[in-house]
Amino acid sequence: MKMAYPESGTPSFTTKPTDLASRVFNHPNFAPAWICFLLLLLVFVSFPIQKILLVLWAYGREGYFHQGIRVLPGKPVRFSNGTLVPQEMDMATGFGMFALTVFGLSFALFFALRLYERFCGNRRV
């Protein structure tokens, strides 16, 4: 980051980001686009995986692959054999998939932008 000096000659403590990751995250259109992307990924990828993990945790591989137990849509959350899904297990797998998707992809994007800037960015310094 570079120091921004006003016309009066006194140094200012406001800095303007010069790295690629800061410029991308500070762009006004980035936040809505990133939220929409994460929302679509949560709905169509993470939550179906969460349901699979929930069945595997409760009934194991045998229940998922051989008995065909699945999580039914609707509330209260039930397995296809009629039993209620334990709320603690549902909350743990749901939060885990949410955190993994949102925070994991955000950190991955941040580090990918940093690596791109380091290895493929402008070579002039």
Dist CA 62 CA 99 (whole Å): 28
Among 27, 48, 57, 30, residue whose Cα is nearest residue 101: 48
Percent of the chain with pLDDT over 70: 83
Write down the H helix ranges in 8-124. Answer: 20-26, 30-41, 47-61, 87-120
For the chain, what is the mean pLDDT?
A: 86
The model's confidence at residue 14, banded by pLDDT at 50, 70 and 90, is low
How far is it, in rounded angstroms, from Cα 109 to Cα 115?
10
Higher pLDDT, 17 or 68: 68
Cα 77 to Cα 58: distance, rounded to the nearest angstrom: 13
Does residue 57 contact residue 88 with C-beta atoms inside 8 Å?
A: no
pTM passes above 0.85: no
**Looking at residue 86, what is its pLDDT?**
94
Cβ-contact 16, 33 below 8 angstroms: no
8 A C-beta contact, residue 25 and residue 109: no
Q: The tokens 């998707």 sit on which residue?
A: 101
